[in-house]
Chains A and B, each alone.
Chain A
Amino acid sequence: MTEYILRFIAGGVIVSIFSILGDMLRPKSFAGLLGAAPSVALATLGIAVVEHGPNYVAAESWTMIYGAIALACYSVVVCHLLMRFHLAALPSTIVALAVWLAVAFGLLAGLGGAA
């Protein structure tokens, strides 16, 4: 339980720091870079490396590359849903999660995890 409380606080703090920085940066397209900040990764890998050691986090970071590629596809789809289909931000970001899941698990199934 303590581990999950620690994860919650670490994740919340790191995500908040990147979000505040994103609010302060201009132009908006540059601030958007922080939408793909490694906030969850920093908190999770930091705890996992202490708990499981370097081999475990090396395997996690390998498939994180697939997750990042899926995030790029997700962001492009969100952009198109907003600009071409005139959907609002909330439904666009929720509908596009299907794309993230399909690309991430598709890459994992096709390329496999770390050796």
Chain B
Amino acid sequence: MLVKLSSDALKQTRWYEYGVRFLLGGLATVFAGIVGARFGASIGGLFLALPAIFCASATLIESHERRAKEKARLSGRRRGQEAAALDAAGAALGSLGLAAFAGVFHLTVSTSTTGAFAAAIAAWVAVSVAAWWLRRRLRIVSHPHHSRS
């Protein structure tokens, strides 16, 4: 399956769900700032990778899948859990990209701030996509009939 961008999924999202994400994202950023100011850069840095909004996004994915199945009069509980687990598996691979983001930013920020942000974002995208592609290739080789995800 190719990677696709579709606006159809946005119709499933309710207006307050965008508000919840904005609120949690804002609070996580304020929290990271407070931790950094109170305990210093080393402990503050840990919290730049805090899975603060993961709780909300996994719960939303689970409820969207469950609602879609229940509309078709099927039990959506298991399907919802599977969708959230697939999202978590993707986040595990994305974490490698996040580590690359931090490493590249650390190495380049003393040279140029703008350049460091650009290089770090490029590293995040490259490592995350490469990890996802590699996992997919390995799954196709080891399970040729189970390569849906």
Contacts and interface: CB of A to CB of B under 8 A. Distances in A.
A in complex with B: yes
A26 B4 contact: yes
B41 interface: yes
Contacts, number: 319
Contacts of A33: 90-91, 93-94, 97, 128-129, 132
Q: Please classify how large the interface on chain B is, using the bins under 10, 10 to 19, 20 to 34, 35 or more.
A: 35 or more
Contacts of A104: 46, 49
B interface: dominant SS: helix
A32 B149 CA distance: 11
Interface in A13-35: 13-16, 19-20, 22-35
Nearest to A48: B36
A11 B113 contact: no
Interface residues of A, number: 86
B89 A79 contact: yes
B29 A32 contact: no
Given A75-B88, A76-B92, A93-B55, A28 B45 contact: no
Contacts of A41: 48-49, 98, 101-102
Contacts of B132: 29-30, 33
